[in-house]
Amino acid sequence: MVEQWKDTVWPALESKKDEFHLLGYDRATTEEIWKCITARLKRNKDELQLHQFVNQIMRLSANEYMNWLTISAYQGPDWFSENEILDLK
C-alpha cells in the first residue's frame, strides 16, 4: 500500500536526507531512507494513512537509521548458501 505513496512523500524523504547530511551523515540517500521506513512498517501490521506515514518519515532519528543500516549490512547476501565453490585465483 505504501509503495504508491513514494512519489507523494518524496519531499519528506528529501527533507530527512538533508537533515541527516546536516548532522554529518553525508552518505544518507532518499532511497535508503525509504527502505528503512518501509522495513520498519513491515513489522507493524496496522494500516496507515498518508499523514501517519509522513510522520514516520519525519520522526526517523539518525540513530534508528544507522542501526537499520548496520543490521542490513549484517543481513547482506549469504555468499556461501548455494554450496558453490569459489574460484579465488
85: which 3 cell numbers? Answer: 565453490
Predicted TM-score (pTM) of the model is: 0.80
Mean pLDDT of the chain: 88
Tens digits of per-residue pLDDT, 38-77? Answer: 998 888 777 889 999 999 999 999 999 999 999 988 887 7
Query: Can you give the pLDDT at residue 35?
Result: 95
Structure confidence at residue 83 as a pLDDT band (50, 70, 90): low
15: which 3 cell numbers? Answer: 527533507
Q: What one-character-per-residue DSSP string does the chain give? A: -GGGGTTTTHHHHHHHHHHHHHTT-TT--HHHHHHHHHHHHHH--S---HHHHHHHHHH--HHHHHHHHHHHHHTS--TTTT-PPP---
